[in-house]
Structure 1
Amino acid sequence: MSTWRARIDAIDQILLVLLNERSRSANEIGHIKKQHKLPIYVPEREKTVLGNVLKNNSGPLEDDAVRRLFERIIDETRSLERRKYQNLD
């Protein structure tokens, strides 16, 4: 069991690196949105992102679980963008 737990710990570290990389990319997009006076929230883009991940979901996580996870990731990323760029002019 310790081997499997170590594997999960290693995967968690990779997930963390990827989530932070995703957030940095979203921050860059937020900066561009601010420069061009575009809204932070773009529902069509969120639908596209969710559609892409669901289309590529090969399990064992069910689509509803994947949707909830990515909705949370998107929500946290959007909050980060708002905090960073809402008061910049």
Structure 2
Amino acid sequence: MTIDDIRKRIDLMDDVLLRIFNERARLALQIGHIKKGLDLPVYDPSREKRIFTRMKGENPGPLDDGAIVRLFERVVDESRRLERIMSQAEGNEDVNNY
């Protein structure tokens, strides 16, 4: 394989990751909507800890567990940010509807 061949494979994988990240974000927004209706907090540290523990347990390498946790911390952090934005936007709509 040449460098260009490998880069093409990386580009294809990046495309898949992009779709996966956005689908995960859509699901997180659905959870955020449910949490808002149940008056639950956006931040659930025990859930995040379970995610990181599970991902470390599933990690085949070559990335070490620290790298996996850092990557998932970013993914979870962005999901939480989206949930907060959605929650604030819905709160503004509620105020505007009265």
Q: Aligned partners of 1:53 and 1:45: how far apart in 2?
A: 12
Q: Any gaps of 5 or more consecutive residues in structure 2?
A: none
Specify the SS of the correspondent of 1:86: helix
CA distance in 2, matches of 1:8, 1:20: 18
Alignment partner for residue 44 of structure 2, among 38, 42, 45? Answer: 42
TM-score by structure 2 length?
0.88
| TM-score (norm: length of structure 1) | 0.96
Match of 1:7 in 2: 9
Choose the corresponding residue for 1:67, options 66, 69, 72: 69
**If you compute each CA radius of gyration, which structure gives the higher value, 1 or 2?**
2
1:45-88 per-position Cα deviation (integer Å, ceiling 9, x unaligned): 00011111110000000110011000011111100110111242
Higher helix share: 2
Count of matched residue positions in the alignment of Structure 1 and Structure 2: 89
Percent identity between the aligned chains?
49
> Which ranges of structure 1 fall in alignment gaps of 5 or more residues?
none
